[in-house]
């Protein structure tokens, strides 16, 4: 009896970034409305890792390309997004980063998005399409807003 087991690939080719700002009354998350893949969905910053880049460099580049923003403080989120893609029959794993943005910074969208919103963590959880995104938002709020993140997660990006 042949007991061979098939495997599906695990791919890691994306970096994900949650941009956060502090207003006078609350912390807010930046959501972007997509125009290419997942058209019309609200998402955080996500992008493909280019040859020669680290995941954190990708996250910073994508933040700037998609929004024109640069962080004041930048962290590894100490978590990865993971999801199954049926069309590829593969699991994708993406490291996540957190960028704290100056409250007055202005967003300039590129062609990948049609709109943006700064919203509360609760409103963000209501707007995003996937449970994985909601879990990620809860993690960021618990580990980076409700408490001071570990200094070991800080990334010196200058």
Question: What is the b/e burial string over 26-60, where b = at least 16 CB atoms within 10 angstroms of the residue's CB?
Answer: ebbbbbbbbeeeeeeebbbbbbebeeeeebbebbb
**pTM assigned to the model:** 0.93
Asked whether the predicted pLDDT for residue 1 surpasses 70, the reply is: no
What are the sequence ranges of the domains in the chain?
10-153
At the top level of CATH, the class of 10-153 is: alpha beta
pLDDT in tens, 66-125: 999 999 999 999 999 999 999 999 999 999 999 999 999 999 999 999 999 999 999 999
Query: In the prediction, which pLDDT does 69 show?
Result: 98
pLDDT in tens, 19-78: 999 999 999 999 999 998 888 999 999 999 999 999 999 999 999 999 999 999 999 999
As given in the structure block, the two tokens for residue 139 are 């993690």
Asked whether the predicted pLDDT for residue 158 surpasses 90, the reply is: no
Are 108 and 67 in contact by the 8 Å Cβ rule? The answer is yes
């Amino acid at each position: 009896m042949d007991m061979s087991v098939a495997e599906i690939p695990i791919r890691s080719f994306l970096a994900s970034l949650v941009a956060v700002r502090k207003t006078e009354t609350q912390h807010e998350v930046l959501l972007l409305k997509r125009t290419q893949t997942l058209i019309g969905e609200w998402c955080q910053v996500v992008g493909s890792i280019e040859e020669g880049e680290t995941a954190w460099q990708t996250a910073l580049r994508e933040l700037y390309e998609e929004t024109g923003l640069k962080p004041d403080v930048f962290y590894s989120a100490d978590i990865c997004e993971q999801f199954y893609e049926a069309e590829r029959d593969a699991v994708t794993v993406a490291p996540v980063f957190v960028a704290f943005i100056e409250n007055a910074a202005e967003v300039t969208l590129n062609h990948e998005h049609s709109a943006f919103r700064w919203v509360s963590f609760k409103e963000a959880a209501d707007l995003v399409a996937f449970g994985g995104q909601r879990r990620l938002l809860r993690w960021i709020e618990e580990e980076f807003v409700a408490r001071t993140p570990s200094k070991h997660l800080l990334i010196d990006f200058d």
